[in-house]
Amino acid sequence: MALHMRKLLACAILAAAFLNTAPLRAQMPEMNNGFYDEKGEPYSSQYFRKTPNRVSLSLQRWPGLQPGKFILHLSTENTVSGCPKLSDLAYETGFRAPYLDITIYDYVVDMRDHPGTKGSSCASGPRNPTADIVLDRDEMIAQGIKRVRFKLNDMADYYDVMIDRQHVWLKPGQSEIPVVQRFRPQKISMIGNPLVHWFYPDKTVILYVPGATGDMDVRDAVMTLAKSNDLEPLENVMPDFSSPVKRPNYYYFIEKKAHLTKNVDIGSGLSVGTVPVEKTIYGLNGDEMAEGSVEVFANSPGLYE
């Protein structure tokens, strides 16, 4: 009888130990190999992590950033539409001179609130998980950063860094080109290189002439109009400057006196006058040239401009 009682007591102790430790799995998700999120919610077929296949890169200019700061924008090439909710891309950065290390992690897809009814629709259009990293020109120079090492799933892509007071340029490293490039420059219409960013002086203004067709040479007329508005060509203070915008009739200036840049409407395009042009009038009896004019607008440099 004593032996039997000792066996029952031992079984009771083991059962109690099991019951006391089982709930810890939900309380300590970091010890469960990624089966739970940071709140202890379990992942499932409707709520899961996904690793990006490829990531697009671009450098952006955001209003309100302090001088010398810029945005490294990362966007997955996995476009998702419909009802699923997507998290932002998780990332980690660190300076290890001469490297700036940027590690990208999974994003989360949440379909737990999906209607699940045939024919049902959601208002969400195509979207991509993204991450926006604020970088500082002066800090990168002080840290001696010469390369960016992008990491994803223990694989790395390397980009060489050229940076000075006037611009920063990320260029795919030539000495370590991966078989599969997981991080690559984003393709943006009418932008030459999305991985070149210029640090413009205060009161930089763009004059553009959307009404001028390809056969209209308006450069000299725009320069005359700019001079009458106390605008100086940007190249005069930044000799190495090259316009990032690959469209005609787009010109960069600096205001000597801030009157355009102080106008609240400049962000949406501010009319500053007209310039004369010769227009072709097409007719049944032949084409004729006629005098006309096109409007010139001022704007502040935008996201990629």
Q: What is the pLDDT of residues 84-120, one digit of tens each?
A: 889 999 999 999 999 999 999 999 999 888 766 555 5
pLDDT at 16 over 50: no
- CA quadruple 25, 28, 30, 36: dihedral sign: positive
pLDDT category of residue 175 using cuts at 50, 70 and 90: low
What integer pLDDT is reported at residue 135 of this predicted model?
98
Give the predicted TM-score (pTM) of the model.
0.81
Q: What is the pLDDT of residue 241?
A: 96
Q: Of residues 201 and 264, which shows the higher confidence score?
A: 201
pLDDT exceeds cutoff 70 at 20: no
| pLDDT computed for residue 119 by the predictor | 55
Query: Chain-centre distance of CA 155, in angstroms?
Result: 21
pLDDT computed for residue 61 by the predictor? 97
Of the candidate ranges 21-35, 218-232, 247-261, the one whose mean pLDDT is the lowest:
21-35
What is the arithmetic mean of pLDDT over 266-286? Answer: 84
Least confident of 9-13, 57-61, 103-107: 9-13
Greatest distance between any 2 Cα atoms in the chain: 122
